[in-house]
Every structure is written in structure tokens, then in C-alpha cells.
Amino acid sequence: MRKLWLVLVAAIGLTACSSDEQSARLEIRLTDAPGDYEAVYVDIQSVEVNSESGESGWKQLEVNKGVYNLIDFTNGMDTLLATAILPAGKISQIRLKLGDGNTVVIDGETKDLTTPSGQQSGVKLNVHEELVEGVTYKLWLDFDAARSVVLTGSGKYILKPVIRTYSEAQSGAIKGVVTPAESLPAVFAITGLDTVATTYADETGKFLLQGVPEGTYLVSFDPKDGFDAFQKADVSVSNGAVTDLGIVALQ
């Protein structure tokens, strides 16, 4: 049975996550409030997060660098800027660094946007978000194009980013402790015929199924030889929360 499960898991590309990682997944996405311009192009070069957990301080994220037209992301549209696996705990700030390829299009004419603050230390945004281990979050940078583009008295346009941040938990998690610990089971969250998440209990018996969408699951335990398989039905998962199964005793 255990070998069959492992073949199925490998076939569908699931990733086993260690229960002691104590991490959360963060997606940072760009969206825009409508502005009265034909186009506003913003050159995004880096995104950093200031974490208060683990190795605290600024952390550089893997970012999709490039020039983005903010007008493309109005009315509920957005695009993925960066993703990161971060230690569970608090993040306090996001820092957005811009390049020099920022322009605005007005009446068919492209005008340069100077961005002194963005080119130097970056645009810092207060977040104060608590990341729960095993949970996936989306954080939106809502770029207000109308308020961010400023016409100076000399007729030049400058970019003074006005950005609102908001977040939403996109998943929950399931954790617990298996006894005896030496059973070392594979653990699966199953809905219908689909295995949604999988992991392994560690040497102390702890397990954590991460990034589980909100819903109700059958949690299946497939231990090593010498122990009986076990299933726990009707396990409820809510976004932003960790469902604790407590101690799961295997025979």
C-alpha cells in the first residue's frame, strides 16, 4: 500500500514538505486603481521583505523584473511580481525598487517619469502581516496611478508612488503528532479522488500538511511496514488557520 501511494504521489508531482520547516508561502501581486492616462509604465527591479522572524532583516525575493503598464491591471486584474517561502511570523515592510524605465503616455505622447526615491533607497510600504506556518498568502501592491504621477511647475512629470497594500490568506494547514513516532507514516489530505497535499511525519512524529485549500478532507496515514494504515474523516480546513489533529495513534 505504502509503495503504491508513493508512486501515485510522484506521478502527479506532489511535493513532500517537512513538518519542521515552520514556513509560509507569500505571493506578491501588482494591481492598480484606475487613472486618467493612456499608459503608465513602471520599471520594477526588485522586491524585498523585512521579516521579524528567523534571520530578521531585509530579504531579497525572486522577482519578475520588467516594465509593467499599470493601466493593464485595473478593475480587479493583477499580475504576479514575486514569490517567497518565508519563516512563519511577522513581516513588517515591503520595499519596492524601481529602475529608470518609467514613463507616462498622455495624448499619444510618451513622457519620462523621474523617480528619485524609487531609484535610491526604494519605496517602503508598511505591511505588519502575521504569517502562519503552512499557510499560503497573497499580498497585493495596489498602485494608485492617478495620484502617483505628478506634474511639476516646470512641466515635467515625476513618479511619487502611492501604493496601498492588502493581503488575504489563500489556504490553511493540517498538523498533528503521530504515535508511535517510529511508524514514520506518509500523510495525505484527500478530497474525493484527489490527493491535495502530502508530507511525512518526522522522527518525533510531528507532521504538517501545508498550503491546503479551504474545505473538508480525509486525512490518510500510510506507515511503514509493521503498522496499520489509518484514516481520519471530515477534517475541516479554513483559510489562514492551522487545523490541529492532536495525537494520532497508530497500531
201-243, pLDDT tens digit by residue?
A: 999 999 999 999 999 999 999 999 999 999 999 999 999 999 9
Confidence of residue 171 (pLDDT cuts 50, 70, 90): very high
Nearest residue to 136 via CA among 196, 76, 224, 70: 196
Nearest residue to 208 via CA among 175, 243, 245: 175
CA separation for the pair 106, 39 (Å, rounded): 8
| CATH 2.60.40 assigned to 23-169 | yes
> Across residues 23-52, what is the average pLDDT?
90
pLDDT in tens, 70-129: 999 987 899 999 999 998 889 999 999 998 899 999 999 999 998 865 455 788 999 988
The answer to whether residue 1 scores a pLDDT higher than 80 is: no
The answer to whether residue 11 scores a pLDDT higher than 50 is: no
Q: Where in the chain is the domain with CATH 2.60.40.10?
A: 172-249
The answer to whether residue 15 scores a pLDDT higher than 80 is: no
Kindly list the strands in the beta sheet with 186-191, ordered across the sheet, starting from the edge strand earlier in the chain.
194-200, 186-191, 215-222, 230-237
CB-based contact 188:198 (threshold 8 Å)? yes
The answer to whether residue 6 scores a pLDDT higher than 70 is: no
| CATH 1.10.10.10 assigned to 172-249 | no
CB-based contact 170:199 (threshold 8 Å)? no
Higher pLDDT, 12 or 29: 29
Would you state the pLDDT for residue 119? 52
